[in-house]
Structure 1
Amino acid sequence: MDDIVRQALVKWPNVPSCTGWLMLDRRGTWRMRDDAAQASGSPGEPIRHEALLGFINRNYDADESGQWYFQNGPQRVYVELGYTPWVVRLSADANGVLVLQDQAGGTFEPTAVFIDEEGGILFADSSAPARAAVLHDHDLEVFSTHATLADDSMNGEFHWNNQVVLPLEALRRGDVAARFGFVSSPAANA
């Protein structure tokens, strides 16, 4: 968390939180949701300002009930999640070493891999509690190059850097939030 945010929290400790105004979509894009977007159920406008994106990413966290928020100075802005609190990109460097990087630019070391009924790929890491990250759909080809799928395409193995073989487990999309302890749509009284 930025020092300026910590200072604002001390100076103004009782600023009410807000919900509905910020979304992390299924592809890891931060979106601003005005009243019209919220009323229509639209994902809102993508945030493109690099400094603001950096500020959001540095001050992104979860509360004790699994609701993710951006600490905007003294105010918590709870985040609507398009799927999971983290979205990862999968790439291979020139030597074929795989790298997973989350939307905030951090590395993600997978310890488990899942597939949902829509073909979405999810990774979990070893943090406590485990973080859940959905794979950006543009990286499915890279994933498939390093995976062996069973005939039903709901099971198989993922070969992580030729060192670790992670079983590919089926997981219903509707069960992901409960399994990993996060809230997709924070309560209005957060």
Structure 2
Amino acid sequence: MDDIVIKAMGKWPNVPACYGWLGLDARGDWYLRDLAVQAQGSFPQIKGEKIVHSKWIAFMGRNYAADANGCWFFQNGPQRVFVELEVTPWVFRFGKTVTELISHTGVLTESLGFVQDEHGYVYAKTPIGLGLLHSHEVALLAEHIDDRLLAIEEASSKDFERKYGYVKSPGVYSAIATVPPQEPSVR
């Protein structure tokens, strides 16, 4: 996390968390969801306003983390803004090879294997967690599978949150969770 964010957390330690105001879609795009948008429906059916400012997106990426319960958030100074996930906490594109991956936040990682769900979506298992493979990358992956350089396992997406330790809707989770809030873990 940025030093300025860490200092703000120390200066104002008891700022309430924010739920429902930020979404991450299946393409790795961030959406701001004000009260009027939230009143229209849940994410991702009603997305809100796409955040396009490159410096703001980079700041969000540097300050993106998960708590011990698997709820992902953007630490905005002293306030933790929990993220509604359309699919997974990460969206990956290929780097120089099909085993090198770059997350929507710019984190470089590697594939430990690929998984396809019952809807045909492809995910990468990585040291930083499970992430959806960006739709623009699927054709390149298919070429390598056809060449028998890679294999894809099949799995049901209904088990992903539990199996891979993330929560798609932290606001819903916080309302029913019995685990007390934990310190963030930067990934």
Q: Name the TM tier (shorter chain).
A: 0.7 to 0.9
Deviation at 1:113, TM superposition (A): 1.0
Deviation at 1:111, TM superposition (A): 0.7
User: Which 4+ stretches in 1 moved above 3 angstroms?
Assistant: none
| Residue 137 (str. 1) matches residue 135 (str. 2) | yes
Separation in 1, partners of 2:28, 2:110: 18
Deviation at 1:126, TM superposition (A): 3.1
| Residue 36 (str. 1) matches residue 36 (str. 2) | yes
TM-score computed with the length of structure 2 as normaliser: 0.84
Q: Give the equivalent residue in structure 1 for 2:73.
A: 69
Letter in 2 for 1:5: V
Check the 8 A contact 1:87/1:102 in 2, yes or no. Answer: yes
Q: Give the equivalent residue in structure 2 for 1:184.
A: 168
Q: What is the percentage of aligned positions where both structures have the same residue? A: 42
Alignment of 1:1-190 (within 5 A): 1-41=1-41, 42-90=46-94, 93=96, 97-98=97-98, 99-127=100-128, 131-148=129-146, 159=149, 165=150, 167-187=151-171, 189=174
Separation in 1, partners of 2:83, 2:15: 17
1:105 match: secondary structure: coil
Letter in 2 for 1:184: K
Q: Give the equivalent residue in structure 2 for 1:162.
A: none
2:119 match: secondary structure: coil
Separation in 1, partners of 2:122, 2:40: 28
Check the 8 A contact 1:90/1:143 in 2, yes or no. Answer: no
Deviation at 1:180, TM superposition (A): 0.3
More strand by share: 1
Separation in 1, partners of 2:64, 2:127: 19
TM-score computed with the length of structure 1 as normaliser: 0.83
More helix by share: 2
Unaligned 5+ segments in structure 1 are 150-156, 160-164
Larger Rg: 1
Separation in 1, partners of 2:166, 2:127: 16
